[in-house]
């Protein structure tokens, strides 16, 4: 397998005035190393596991060495990645309140092995606390492997957007999809202009949170809390008409409507969406017995971004917020 920059020069696409790679025939390469390091940090740091004896959390990405790339040839994507990862974890024994620290090492994450077979070594500094080490070796290792699987999924979807260019067959398929989409979906009425007209879908997701409505609403509207669950810089002021940025500028938008502790409506776009195209995201906060149900309704998501949008909300919002709530409860 050729590493980044080592593809056969006879097949690499040269710069052309029209930028054309007809029917995706030529070899193209994209370096995923920098993107991967950020994504691994995002997915791994903050992972937490807990049982009746104690709680552990991955606190830092100490080392990530290696590289990743994606190549395309004849419309097929070829992935190369090879990583040596070292993570720091910390934990607390509930009964005694004693804290311990340790390391997690993943010496060879590569396309040659399945994620479930990836070597994950857990160690702890000298002293007592093996009960925490055992927790990280079991539940912690399972969550680490799950996060590595999420990284590979994002590498093969989120990172590769735009690498496979439209062909005649794909154009025909898109037309078929467009005809099947309801006129209501394609031209969803809303108080905000959605931008360019492209084939879109609507999403509906729900998640139950073990917290009061007031707390959950704050997590979506207070800058410091947004930065905590997203683990990245954010720029926001939750007022109608104000613009916002999250996830280091990868998500941008504008607040359309805010009903305190009840509803938030936003214009919403991902950086790699077509220029000026926004979806409309509505968050409804519904009280239940001692919990809060969050109902997400989203209109105007580009057809090709449906799975990415679901992944973004489930993994980068819902699951991260659940983890933040556990941390808030623990620190009480």
Instruction: Summarize pLDDT for 199-235 with one digit per residue, the tens.
Output: 889 999 999 999 999 999 999 999 999 999 988 889 9
Last residue of a domain, one of 158, 173, 190: 158
> 157, 205, 163: which is closest to 39 by C-alpha?
157
Written as six digits, the tokens of 148 are 């590595």
Same domain, 113 and 226: no
Question: How would you classify the pairing of strands 99-110 and 121-124?
Answer: antiparallel
Total domains present in the chain:
2
Any idea what the CATH number is for the domain that residue 98 is in? Answer: 3.15.10.20
* Enclosing domain of residue 307: 200-331
Written as six digits, the tokens of 39 are 């994504």
Three-state SS for 89?
strand
Same domain, 153 and 205: no
DSSP H or E segment with residue 161 = none
Same domain, 152 and 249: no
Could you tell me if residue 320 is left (phi over 0), alpha (psi between -120 and 50 degrees) or otherwise beta? alpha
Same domain, 143 and 246: no
Same domain, 53 and 117: yes
User: Which residues, at least 6 apart from 278, have a Cβ–Cβ distance to it below 8 Å?
Assistant: 192, 194, 195, 253, 267, 268, 269, 300
The tens digit of pLDDT for each residue in 93-108 reads: 999 999 999 999 999 9
Tens of pLDDT along the chain (332 residues) come to 444 445 444 444 444 444 444 443 444 678 888 889 989 999 999 999 999 999 999 999 999 999 998 887 655 778 889 999 999 999 999 999 999 999 999 999 998 888 888 899 999 987 778 899 999 999 999 999 999 999 988 888 777 665 444 444 444 444 444 454 444 344 444 444 444 467 889 999 999 999 999 999 999 999 999 999 988 889 999 999 999 999 888 899 999 999 999 999 999 999 888 888 999 999 999 999 889 999 999 999 998 888 889 988 998 899 999 999 988 887 76
Any idea what the CATH number is for the domain that residue 211 is in? Answer: 3.30.530.20
């Amino acid at each position: 397998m050729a590493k980044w920059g080592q593809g056969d020069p006879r097949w690499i696409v040269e710069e052309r005035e029209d930028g054309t790679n007809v029917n995706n025939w030529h070899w193209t390469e994209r370096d995923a190393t920098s993107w991967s390091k950020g994504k691994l940090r995002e997915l791994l740091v903050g992972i937490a596991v807990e049982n009746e004896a104690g709680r552990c959390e991955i606190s830092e990405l100490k080392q990530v060495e290696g590289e990743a790339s994606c190549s395309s040839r004849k419309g097929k994507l070829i992935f190369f990645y090879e990583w040596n990862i070292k993570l720091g974890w910390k934990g607390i024994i509930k009964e005694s309140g004693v804290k311990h620290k340790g390391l997690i090492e993943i010496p060879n994450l590569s396309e040659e092995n399945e994620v479930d077979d990836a070597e994950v070594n857990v160690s702890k500094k000298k002293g007592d606390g093996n009960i925490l080490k055992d927790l990280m070796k079991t539940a912690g290792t399972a969550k680490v492997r799950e996060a590595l699987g999420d990284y590979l999924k994002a590498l093969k979807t989120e990172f590769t957007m735009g690498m496979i260019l439209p062909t005649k067959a794909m154009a025909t398929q898109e037309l078929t999809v467009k005809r099947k989409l309801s006129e209501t979906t394609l031209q969803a009425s809303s108080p905000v202009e959605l931008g360019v007209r492209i084939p879109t879908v609507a999403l509906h997701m729900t998640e139950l949170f073990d917290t009061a409505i007031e707390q959950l609403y704050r997590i979506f509207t207070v800058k410091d809390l947004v930065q905590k669950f997203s683990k990245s810089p954010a720029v926001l002021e939750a007022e109608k008409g104000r613009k916002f940025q999250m996830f280091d500028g990868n998500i941008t938008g504008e607040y359309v409507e805010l009903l305190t502790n009840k509803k938030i409506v936003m214009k919403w776009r991902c950086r790699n969406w077509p220029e000026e195209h926004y979806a409309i995201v509505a968050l409804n906060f519904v009280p239940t017995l001692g919990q809060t149900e969050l109902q997400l309704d989203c209109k105007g998501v580009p057809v090709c971004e449906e799975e990415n949008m679901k992944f973004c909300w489930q993994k980068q919002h819902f699951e991260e917020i659940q983890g933040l709530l556990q941390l808030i409860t623990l620190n009480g």
